[in-house]
A and B are shown apart, each in its own frame.
Chain A
């Protein structure tokens, strides 16, 4: 991300600067969290990274391509091939079974055959959902639904996994399971992840944290050699210090 800027025009013509000169890089295999209070520009940033919105200034480079220069068809291809999405409220398609929901991203590239179906089953098994594959989303608990959403996000081996408040709708026990799943994916597969959250506990699972405030990057924390509880404490301290400074 290079000097990203996003300005929204209100109906009355007033301009709102949602992101202002934000630059950072996400190395392959990094688990990055973006934190910030409401209205700080987290979701705007996520939309720009995903190519779901176009920046007013600056650029997003993904897989050697400047997203702001791509046509909508090309952006769609980028999302299809390189990105995976996990949403706060899961967004599973109710009429499809668990297996069909997970299969969906694969079918956008080409019709699914045996290897693709085997891949779906493998991912479901890995996330502990092997026995749920013929269930419908409404038959699952919230935690299970989010795990299905994660399976759907990683099934096509995306270069970057984007998660928007993935534990926002879950209780703490289920949140922990979901975050452990992310951490496991990161450790075992070297998945690159960008997670937007306002929850310090969730952010403590990342290895690097960017803090946004009023559309600008104002702090960055690296986990380094700290274990998760220690990193969590550092995040709390950093947030407190910033609160005091504000």
Chain B
């Protein structure tokens, strides 16, 4: 059993990065996630594990520093919040186009524009539909607890390297700022140069040896036929993720007539709504997507086929994930949305009322 601590979600991201053998963090301060870099700077991991930490001049610089570090096959990451992630979108597209594994943490705040500094989930589209130009996908993990802030750092890197694709932890201001009990992961040593050579030596730009050809990390291709082929290869990778990497949690769905679909903080709140409604004798369950991409389309479709009478997508935005729920349900039954925006947070009673009024029609 690892160390038990009472920690903030943001601090845990930093601690988990050090413990999972991360080689480098590059970031730029922005509320509500600045504690990530502050914690790292105070911990001085370069003296302990050799992990590099650098405060960049902008988010545009940080994401490109990630591009540089990831090009050598090392474990590198950055973190930011919504407006900062927008500044990184160009880099995200280049990372996906060059098939570079890396981890990006988005502790979301309300938008658009500078918006608020309070929690939100309004970057769902940005995170799950690419978030930059061109046909690409990020692997997106949605933590609903401080414990998952710890667990998903390691998982994010694991998936990123498995698929040679950027992975994102899509958290929100509450998960980032809340203190909860957390069991920290055990320390894993950073990969040695030899391990990197063995695992990623076929593509990483880590110095051309006499016995091999150059390694060029690039997303440039001027010949349309070859670009299309490459895009098809990317799409095949995304389809494989959809087959093999979908993660979700189901709470009281076995006999549910109505299902709330919610991720992150909205799922924490909706879990209580399920209890409230169950006490009233209404058979409600909660489906919590853990991977937002790949999205748990199949299980939602199965629930709809099984006779669930209605779905309610609860989100801290204007209704973004509800589109994916509707695609999964494909017209078989009712799909409604409820949410708050701009940093406003719903509560269990409010969600329970909406289930009754919108889904059951009381």
Asked if chains A and B come from one complex, the reply is no
